[in-house]
Amino acid sequence: MNKFLACFLLLSTFFSVSTFANEAPLSRGAVCVVDDGFRIVLIEELVTGKLSLPGGGIDQGETLQQAAERETWEEAGLIVTAKEILHQDEKATIFRCVSNSDIVAFDLQTTDGFFRIPAWFAPHYGIETEAVYLTEPYKIEPDKYRYPEQLDQLKSWFAKPLDSENKVIWVTNLVEQASGIHQYELNLLMSLRESIDALPSIINVAVKVFFTLINETGQEAFFYFLVVIALVYFGRDLALTLLFGIVFSIVLTELARQGLSLPRPFVYVPQLQLTWANGFGMPSMQAMLSTVVYGTFYLALKRKQVEESTLKCFVQICVPLLIIQSIAHVWLGVHFLSDVVVGILLGVMVVFHFSNLQNKHGELLYRVMGSIQLWLLMAIVISGIAFVMFYMSYLYTAAICWGAVLAIFLQKEQPLILKTIKGRLITFTSIVILMIVFRFGTYELLSVLPSGSIIVLTIKAIANFVLMFLIIMFSGWIPKWLNNKENKV
């Protein structure tokens, strides 16, 4: 009897362990389908640019339902309850979820026929999520959806309207949800827009095209062209000083944005958005970048005793350009006026301190800015921030710093600065062509590879690293090659 009991207990223990083992999650991820019967909630991923259902991995100790509910809150800003299972495999379990409150959506459709859902309060807005939409599955293009095989299932599930517990509240704008000063700025901008819209259409188009072009001169890519100009005409130390200003501005503004979490104008009034932008707006990175780069460049040129007429011309170009850029950011709906003002003030502070350091230390400051020790420190610090914050902008900036570190390490001597206009033009054109070809090749590579977040982040980080390395190295190789060729002749 005792032997029988012992065997029974042993078998019971074995089957119990097997049962508990089988209770482990059957899927690696959990996903929510939040719908109103025929439209579903989608997120636009910031890293991949693709559309997907809100969802993600399962944290330790979580059930599949808890993971789906958490991910939906983090990515879409919706508090939901996971109900029935629509589909389950080893990759993901897809739940049909019910929102604990009404879903608020703007009544203005995008060009794709989607309705935007306000989600600036979602924990991962501007980090993982670029935008949140409500749309019918049949309107989703397969090439824009991250998991094409999942799209057919969605279309079949909602081929006919379903009963749903979710209700949608349609709004035209959310001006009343903005802060007092932002409400004033929004009303002012909307009034100005209405005045311009009342003018002939050709004027409307001309204004939009003009401000769109001006806005491009405030983007990061434009300032990297200024770094190339500095490399070719003034040497590596000055160029690295400008690059330091760009990197510092990006990191500082991104940290401030995440801390303040103040939305852009089009988040409250979608009609205001006339160009692409993502994340939060305060302070304006473009305004700070322009102020820092133009100011630093001016001080460096003055230090090199450039002709007074050249300095005057530089100021006459840059100051109006900065003002027009600021107006463009506001007009296109990507920044409040207060965002721009704060960005400029931060930039002025940086330039002021740089000017004091230049007056005090002179050429030593530029040698430090061009030293491998400084860039190694920058690379390590920003890599640490990227690891802790899990934000792609820091990762790409860290990659640029590591590219500069390797280039400075291998390029022991200062690159030769050619005296002839022809030589400088050849060097500058060659580097610009390299940049364009390299960027185009990167996007082509991404278009043929799987659109996983890790793959995209890795490819873009490597591309930034290699491109910055090649820019600095080519600025030394091409002048040296041209000089040797000239000497032989």
Return the structure tokens found at 430. 């060659």
Q: Print pLDDT tens along the chain (489 aa).
A: 444 334 433 333 333 333 333 445 678 999 999 999 999 999 999 999 999 999 999 999 999 999 999 999 999 999 999 999 999 999 899 999 999 999 999 999 999 999 999 999 999 999 899 999 999 999 999 989 998 888 999 999 998 888 999 999 999 999 999 999 999 999 999 998 888 888 898 998 899 999 999 999 888 889 999 999 999 999 999 999 999 999 999 999 999 999 999 999 999 999 999 999 989 999 999 999 999 999 999 999 998 888 899 999 999 999 999 999 999 999 999 999 999 999 999 999 999 999 999 999 988 999 999 999 999 999 999 999 999 888 889 999 999 999 999 999 999 888 888 888 899 999 999 999 999 999 999 999 998 888 788 899 999 999 999 999 999 999 999 998 988 887 775
Q: List Cβ neighbours of 332 (8 Å cut-off, separation of 6 or more).
A: 211, 212, 215, 273, 274, 275
Pairwise CA distance, residues 192 & 345, whole Å: 25
> Nearest-CA neighbor of 105 among 171, 33, 178, 37?
171
| Amino acid 2: pLDDT | 44
Q: Assess contact for 382 and 247: CB atoms under 8 A.
A: yes
DSSP character for 275?
Answer: S
Helix then strand then coil, in percent of the chain rounded to 5, is 65, 10, 25
* Residue-range domains of the chain with CATH: 25-172 (3.90.79.10), 201-488 (no CATH)
Count of residues for the chain? 489
- Specify the residue for token string 């089988």: 22
Pairwise CA distance, residues 136 & 39, whole Å: 4
Pairwise CA distance, residues 281 & 333, whole Å: 10
Q: List Cβ neighbours of 477 (8 Å cut-off, separation of 6 or more).
A: none
Pairwise CA distance, residues 247 & 238, whole Å: 14
